[in-house]
A and B are shown apart, each in its own frame.
Chain A
Amino acid sequence: MRAFGRYAGPATLILSSLAEGSKHGYALTKDIEEFADVRLAPGTLYEALSRLEGQGLIEALESDDRRRPYRLTATGAEVLRVHLSAQRRVADLGLRRLARGWKPA
């Protein structure tokens, strides 16, 4: 995820959404809003989609409709797994330290 730079946030959300199955732009926006309470604006969403596609982490599927769905690639799944595991380690550590003895000053 280091390569995403400032796009790490939208990229994680998009990859996590696609981990459930292929989705087109509007379905992605709705799903992300539902599970993360974040509404990705259209420009931000497509900036991230084009970058992820360029990096081979997602791929566009053929569609008769104008709404083209995207799917997570094997590389994308692996990158997401590594990134989320690292995030979980940080989250677990923070929670443990909080539970161990943080007191208000």
Chain B
Amino acid sequence: MKKERAASGRQAGRLLRWYPKQWRSRYGAEFLELLDAEIREHPWSWRRNLDVTWHGLSARLTSAGLTRHATESDAQAGARLASAGCALAAFLAFGASMWAQLAIGWRWSEPDTRATYTAMFVMSIAMLLVCTLLVMGAIPVAWRVVKAVAHGNSRFLVGPSSLFLVGASVLVIGSRHFENGWPGTGGHPWSAQGLVPGGVAAFAWASTLWISSYWAHPQVLVHFPAAEVAWMVLSPIATVCAVVGGAKAIRRLELPHRILHFEMQLARVACVAMLALLVGSASWTTDGGPGPHDLFRAGGIDIAALGVMSASLAVAYLAVRRARPALAGS
């Protein structure tokens, strides 16, 4: 009997993990009791397991601000903003990897098709806009963090802020170091040629070096310098740390309504810029051609990147769209 109770308790505990932390802290104990009773009554039920899984995932989406909620609040809008920020970061990483590839190729030789030319112009303007919006959006959030620290009310921000600072520092320092490893980006005879400054292109290339098809070719990867392979492993971890830290800080800050409204306006414009970047990338991938010396050849990794960018844009759009009635209504 005791064994059965322990087993049902364990199964209930496993099922509860589908739900987000916030939900568990409110309903967890009573939900566990109900699950425990249900499991003892009907030990095996696919319907129950599927139901809990489905509603747990649905609660996670709600917690991330990606579904409608019965009671909209600024906290809900903060969650939506954090989700939009994460989606934007994922989009930017994959978009930057494609853009850097083209920008560096251009330093060696000009593209020979109109599609690559146009794509590069559109992508460069969109990249500039997205980065500007990101900085504009980060300023009020950083200001709130500084204010919280100044008022001695920042204990709840220590974890997320540290995670963000460590991740961002590793990413910037590492990218600055590895950007010098590309021959076409610094001090090369052709470095005056190109659409964007070589250093910017090289930084984008180094920070997204891990988005590479070489992962599928380990026999080639083993011939890479060990430091470069280590950076390919470390840089995505640093990126994730910076993004998760930033998102957690946004959620914990409880930003005032007017800042949330401002951030959502920026996110809306960012969605348009993201769409432009996606269209530019897709146009190059499908229509650009390999260009001189194969410098502009699109590969499987670029198709995969387009998929990630489309999914990220969809998530960002969903978060922004869901926030609109809540912020407009209050």
**Main secondary structure on B side of the interface with A:** helix
* A42 near B51: Cβ-Cβ < 8 Å: yes
Q: Can you spell out 30 A-B residue pairs with CB atoms less than 8 angstroms apart?
A: A3-B70, A24-B30, A24-B33, A25-B30, A25-B31, A25-B33, A25-B34, A26-B34, A26-B37, A26-B38, A42-B35, A42-B38, A42-B48, A43-B51, A43-B52, A43-B53, A43-B55, A44-B51, A45-B34, A46-B31, A46-B55, A47-B58, A47-B59, A50-B26, A50-B27, A54-B71, A66-B29, A66-B32, A67-B33, A68-B30
Residues in B with CB closer than 8 Å to A55 are 70-71
**7 pairs of A and B residues whose beta carbons are closest in the complex:** A43-B55, A41-B51, A25-B34, A54-B70, A43-B51, A54-B71, A43-B52
* A42 near B31: Cβ-Cβ < 8 Å: yes
Residues of A38-81 at the interface with B, using a CB-CB cut-off of 8 Å, are 41-47, 49-51, 54-55, 66-68
Residues in A with CB closer than 8 Å to B69 are 54
A29 within 8 A of B: yes
Nearest A residue to B31 by beta-carbon distance?
A46
* A29 near B34: Cβ-Cβ < 8 Å: yes
Which bracket fits the contact residues of A?
20 to 34
Q: Once the chains are docked, how many angstroms separate the CA of A49 from the CA of B33?
A: 15
Residues of B16-60 at the interface with A, using a CB-CB cut-off of 8 Å, are 23, 26-27, 29-35, 37-38, 47-48, 51-56, 58-59
Q: Which of B31, B38, B70 has the most CB of A within 10 A?
A: B70
Nearest B residue to A40 by beta-carbon distance?
B51
Q: Once the chains are docked, how many angstroms separate the CA of A44 from the CA of B34?
A: 12
Residues in A with CB closer than 8 Å to B31 are 25, 42, 46
* A41 near B33: Cβ-Cβ < 8 Å: no
B44–chain A nearest beta-carbon distance, Å:
14
Residues in B with CB closer than 8 Å to A43 are 48, 51-56
* A46 near B51: Cβ-Cβ < 8 Å: no
Q: Once the chains are docked, how many angstroms separate the CA of A44 from the CA of B47?
A: 11
Q: Once the chains are docked, how many angstroms separate the CA of A54 from the CA of B73?
A: 11
Residues in A with CB closer than 8 Å to B23 are 50
Residues of A68-97 at the interface with B, using a CB-CB cut-off of 8 Å, are 68
Q: Once the chains are docked, how many angstroms separate the CA of A26 from the CA of B70?
A: 24
Nearest B residue to A25 by beta-carbon distance?
B34
Q: A24-B34, A42-B38 are in contact. List 16 more A-B contacts (CB 8 A).
A: A25-B30, A25-B31, A29-B34, A41-B51, A42-B34, A43-B52, A43-B53, A43-B55, A44-B55, A46-B31, A46-B34, A46-B55, A49-B27, A54-B70, A67-B34, A68-B29
